[in-house]
Amino acid sequence: MKLKIFLITTLIPLLVFFMGCSSSKSDGGDGGDTVKPNPSFANDIQPIFSSGCALSNCHNSGSTRAGLNLTQGQAYANLVNVNSTEVPGLMRVLPSDADNSYIVIKLEGRQTVGGRMPLSGSITNTQLQNIKNWINNGAQNN
């Protein structure tokens, strides 16, 4: 009986909590599950940041790690043509050059400073490809 109460009051809520914190969803609400040749920042890229990066204790207005706020209305200005604070000289997003954009380097785990992003989960290959396509298409604020 004690084990049953323990499972109900402790383990099940923890499982629900951790499942809710995962940023590896692939539905239409977080950047979609389709690779788009010319993704829109507002419709395809910002939802990825909102669901997987602009979280409590990460890149939101209350806790801007590395000086990077990725909340809606702030993300674009904090990314495009902005020097990385971890590796000065590398742009967070270098328009038309995803492979040399620090955000892609961090998302792919090619960084030499700090950890791979996102720390508390992962993004899907589709989401990563959409970010790269957005950058390679000029990183427009569209």
Residue 1 in any domain: the answer is no
For the stretch 77-100, pLDDT in tens is 999 999 999 999 999 999 999 999
Residue 2 in any domain: the answer is no
Whole-number mean pLDDT of the chain? 80
pLDDT of residue 54: 67
Range of the domain at 49: 37-136
Residue 60 in any domain: the answer is yes
Q: Please state the domain count of the chain.
A: 1
Residue 131 in any domain: the answer is yes
For the stretch 94-141, pLDDT in tens is 999 999 999 999 999 999 999 899 887 779 999 999 999 999 999 999
Residue 31 in any domain: the answer is no
Distances (CA, A) of 71 to 45, 110, 112, 121: 11, 24, 25, 18
Residue 30 in any domain: the answer is no
Residue 116 in any domain: the answer is yes
